[in-house]
């Protein structure tokens, strides 16, 4: 052991890595040996329970999740662009937009959904059309709009000021400049953070249960929880997790390709 | 090119600037500029960096808002809040140091967009005019390229074609060759020379002294926010009368040459 202090740092690092691998392998072996695999399979990966969920997990639950997500995302993105432009423009409307953004970024989405579903009807005697899902989509639109507004604002401001100057020097109005020159370039910049926003929104639809659903309106997580309690088995949760992943994983891949396609330096 | 702009000859001066001041915070960049440009005239503005020459140009079409003074552009008082700036800018082309092409559009798209949106030309007419101007600047074979696929010189020529597609009565050039590799400068200057010879009214902020001497009618030397000297280009470049102009031109035309008398001198601000 007396050579140890004289070892090169790279050699020591290699020894350290080997040691940690060894520990990892030992832990893995212990887990494999001592785990009750039959029990785990029965509780989490039960084929009978999984078969019962087929095909409603896709035709009802996943479909509803996608409808809620995509609708709120589209409406929320439009709201985000409006809020971002107002905030950049400034003035009283800019202040109002900033306040709106700070309010709905600052409170939990669950509270916003609850407010849309119950507080507004009680306070104003006005039921948001579409029942539980309608109120939920409205709330998620507002939440997404508030979050994405900051993304869009950063995207707009990342476009070189020279672009606006060139457009204005051609006689384009500020609106035309925004629509034809700045926003298309800002969109390319915001694709990665907006993808992130979409994935977060997809998972936030699991909060919509507080708004109340009819059976045919249930989204993935509510559906999974119901199946969990009726079957007394955890397999539905694994299935639901897989259902979320079959949306998010291809999405990430698609967006990566889209980004490459939109790259002006391609 | 023969005279492409015959209808513009006998009108009142398109650019009349009087007592123009511009400050950024406490920093006064322009300290009272008077400048009149006649139709068909080519005016070069030279001077050391920080002299205010780019700011002057950007004030002409009100990309910068003047602090004080008046700017008559094509008969419109640009400092009057009731004047529709977009309307006036439509007739004034501008070319920037950093090209500022729209990267999300092809060369042709860059030349079409404002024709469609601002002048409300039909698609076919706008494309026809854009093609004509891209051919004029020697890029007939690059119309479908995006800016990122073009060299700096080609991008700047697209920028000129984009401005020309609006049928401008005046062209403003803000150091159009300053960002270019030296071997690409010639193509852009050649296009500008053609324009000048075709009778276009041009204000050119530039460091290209030979272009100023050979192409422009009049050259203005600016330093410290004021016009130090102006006159016929050949006279001003070859035989400047002001000391500051002489020192500047000597430095620019012969950067490695330092006179003994200069060594002890303090820099002109």
Order of strands across the sheet that contains B27-37: B27-37, B15-24, B68-73, B76-77
> Which residue has 């004021």 as its token pair?
B226
Q: Is residue A128 scored above 70 in pLDDT?
A: yes
Query: What is the least distance, in Å, from the CA of A185 to any CA of chain B?
Result: 7
pLDDT at B2 over 70: no
B148 and A163 within 8 Å at the Cβ level: the answer is: no
For residue B245, give Cα distances in angstroms to A123, B107, B228, B267.
Answer: 76, 39, 8, 13
> Is pLDDT above 90 for A83?
yes
**Residue range A221-248: mean pLDDT, rounded:** 88
Q: What is the DSSP letter of B47?
A: -
CA–CA dist A138, B86 (Å, integer):
39
User: Per-residue pLDDT tens for B72-131?
Assistant: 999 889 988 888 999 999 999 999 999 999 999 999 999 999 999 999 999 999 999 999
Please, how many CA atoms are within 13 Å of residue A161, restricted to the half-sphere of its CB? 2
Nearest chain A Cα to B111, which residue?
Answer: A170
**Does B1 contact chain A (CB < 8 Å)?**
no
Mean pLDDT of chain A: 89
| Contact yes or no for A162 and B96 at CB 8 A | yes
In whole angstroms, what is the distance from residue A161 CA to residue B250 CA?
Answer: 35
pLDDT at B261: 57
Q: What is the DSSP letter of A234?
A: S
Closest CA to A246 of A58, A74, A51: A58
Q: What is the ipTM of this complex?
A: 0.87
> pLDDT, tens digit, for every residue of B13-61?
999 999 999 999 999 999 999 999 999 999 999 999 889 999 999 999 9
pLDDT tier for residue B6 given thresholds of 50, 70 and 90: very low
Residues of A in contact with B167 (CB under 8 A): none
pLDDT tier for residue A48 given thresholds of 50, 70 and 90: confident
Nearest CA in chain A to B61: A169
SS3 label, residue B203:
strand
CA distance B21 to chain A (A): 21
What mean pLDDT is reported for chain B? 90
CATH architecture of the domain with range A52-261: Orthogonal Bundle (1.10)
pLDDT of A17 above 50: yes
| Candidate from A118-122, A241-245, B264-268 with smallest mean pLDDT | B264-268
Spatial neighbors of B204 by CB under 8 A, at least 6 apart, are B42, B43, B44, B45, B173, B176, B192, B211, B212, B216
Q: Which of A165, A171, A264 sits opposite B104 (nearest CB)?
A: A264
Contact (Cβ atoms closer than 8 angstroms) between residue A153 and residue A88: yes
Of A168, A180, A188, the CB nearest to B113: A180
Output the CA–CA distances (angstroms, integers) from residue A219 to A12, A127, B64, in the order listed. 53, 21, 54
Mean pLDDT of A18-39: 90
Rounded Cα–Cα distance for residues B269 and B251 (Å): 15
Question: Which of A46-55, A102-111, B32-41 is the least confident region?
Answer: A46-55
Indicate the residue of B100, B117, B172 with minimum beta-carbon distance to A162: B100
* Contact: B86, A162; criterion CB under 8 Å: no
Among all chains, which residue has been given the structure tokens 């979050």?
A147
């Amino acid at each position: 052991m007396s050579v140890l202090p004289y070892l090169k740092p790279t050699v020591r690092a290699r020894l350290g890595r080997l040691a940690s691998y060894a520990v990892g392998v030992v832990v893995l072996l212990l887990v494999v040996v001592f785990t009750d695999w039959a029990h785990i399979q029965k509780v989490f990966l039960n084929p009978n329970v999984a078969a019962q969920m087929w095909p409603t997990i896709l035709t009802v639950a996943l479909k509803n999740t996608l409808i809620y997500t995509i609708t709120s995302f589209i409406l929320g993105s439009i709201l985000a662009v409006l809020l971002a432009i107002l905030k950049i423009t400034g003035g009283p409307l800019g202040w109002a937009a900033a306040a709106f953004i700070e309010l709905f970024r600052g409170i939990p989405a669950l509270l916003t959904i609850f407010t849309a579903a119950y507080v507004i009807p009680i306070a104003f005697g006005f039921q948001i059309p579409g029942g539980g899902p309608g109120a939920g989509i409205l709330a998620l639109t507002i939440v997404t709009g508030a979050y994405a507004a900051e993304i869009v604002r950063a995207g707009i401001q990342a476009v070189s000021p020279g672009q606006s100057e060139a457009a204005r020097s051609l006689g384009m109005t500020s609106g035309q400049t925004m629509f034809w020159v700045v926003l298309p370039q800002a969109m390319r910049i915001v694709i990665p953070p907006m993808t992130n926003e979409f994935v977060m929104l997809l998972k936030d639809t699991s909060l919509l249960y507080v708004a109340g659903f009819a059976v045919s309106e249930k989204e993935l997580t509510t559906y999974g929880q119901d199946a969990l309690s009726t079957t007394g088995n955890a397999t539905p949760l694994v299935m639901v997790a897989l259902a979320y992943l079959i949306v998010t994983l291809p999405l990430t891949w698609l967006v990566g390709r889209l980004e490459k396609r939109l790259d002006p330096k391609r | 090119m023969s005279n492409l702009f015959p209808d513009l000859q006998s009108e009142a001066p398109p650019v009349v600037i009087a007592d123009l001041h511009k400050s950024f915070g406490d920093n006064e960049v322009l300290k009272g500029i008077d400048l009149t440009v006649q139709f068909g005239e080519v005016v070069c503005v030279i001077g050391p960096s920080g002299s205010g020459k780019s700011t002057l140009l950007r004030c002409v079409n009100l990309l910068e808002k003047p602090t004080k003074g008046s700017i008559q552009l094509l008969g419109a008082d640009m400092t009057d809040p009731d004047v529709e700036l977009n309307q006036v800018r439509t007739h004034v082309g501008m070319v920037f140091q950093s090209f500022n092409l729209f990267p999300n559009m092809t060369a042709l798209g860059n030349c079409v967009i404002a024709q469609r949106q601002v002048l409300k030309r039909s698609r076919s007419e706008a494309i026809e005019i854009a093609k004509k101007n891209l051919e004029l600047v020697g890029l007939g074979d690059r119309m479908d390229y995006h800016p990122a696929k073009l060299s700096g010189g080609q991008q700047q020529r697209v920028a000129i074609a984009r401005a020309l597609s609006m049928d401008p009565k005046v062209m403003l050039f803000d150091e159009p060759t300053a960002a270019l590799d030296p071997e690409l400068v010639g193509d852009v200057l050649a296009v500008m020379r053609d324009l000048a010879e075709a009778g276009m009214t041009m204000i050119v902020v530039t460091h290209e002294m030979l272009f100023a001497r050979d192409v422009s009618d009049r050259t203005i030397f600016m330093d410290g926010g004021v016009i130090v000297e102006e006159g016929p280009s050949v006279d001003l470049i070859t035989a400047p009368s002001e000391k500051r102009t002489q020192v500047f031109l000597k430095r620019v035309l012969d950067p490695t040459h330092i006179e003994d008398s200069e060594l002890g001198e303090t820099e002109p601000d």
